[in-house]
């Protein structure tokens, strides 16, 4: 594991082929870089006028445990909120998202966990 603080990473729109998954939408994807190396990324998508979904969130295994995932999730939420989001959807039953406030779905619940954003 590499020791750093999440604020050491800079978040950018990816260059072509820079996202860690194929067919990343450059308008909805951001990559986190330490120096010139991509160490994390996320992609969000708009599902309605006021709802976005975290489509993907990835942190390089060597850079996990330093808060980069939390930093990327916060950036993704902020990006969505700046574009009118009032709800953010993430995969249900994933401890990472639950740890950061996404509700746990009920036994009969949906396949997604929805966090409601409240304007300040």
pLDDT for residue 108: 55
Range(s) of the domain holding residue 107:
6-116
Count of structural domains within the chain: 1
Q: Is residue 95 part of a domain?
A: yes
| pLDDT on residue 109 | 63
pTM, two decimal places: 0.90
Residue 1 lies in a domain: no
Say how many C-beta atoms besides its own lie within 10 A of residue 84's C-beta.
12
- Condensed to tens digits (0 to 9), the pLDDT of residues 65-109 reads 999 999 999 999 999 999 999 999 999 889 999 999 999 876 556
Q: What span, in angstroms and rounded, lies between the C-alpha atoms of 42 and 96?
A: 14
Alpha helices in 1-120 (DSSP H): 68-82, 95-99
Extract the tokens encoding 21: 């998954």
pLDDT digits over 10-55, tens only?
A: 999 999 999 999 999 999 999 999 989 999 999 999 999 999 999 9
Sheet order of strands, 112-116 included: 10-12, 29-34, 37-48, 51-59, 87-91, 112-116
**Residue 53 covered by a domain:** yes
């Amino acid at each position: 594991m590499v020791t750093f603080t999440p604020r050491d990473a800079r978040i950018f729109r990816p260059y072509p082929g820079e996202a860690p998954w194929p067919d990343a939408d450059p308008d909805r994807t951001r990559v986190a870089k330490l120096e010139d190396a991509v160490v994390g990324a996320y992609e969000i998508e708009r599902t309605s006028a006021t709802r976005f979904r975290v489509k993907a969130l990835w942190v390089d295994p060597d850079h996990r445990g330093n808060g980069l995932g939390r930093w990327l999730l916060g950036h993704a939420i902020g990006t969505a909120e700046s574009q009118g989001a009032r709800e953010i959807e993430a995969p249900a039953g994933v401890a990472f998202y639950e740890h950061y406030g996404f509700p746990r779905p009920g036994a009969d619940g949906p396949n997604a966990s929805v966090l409601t954003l409240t304007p300040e």
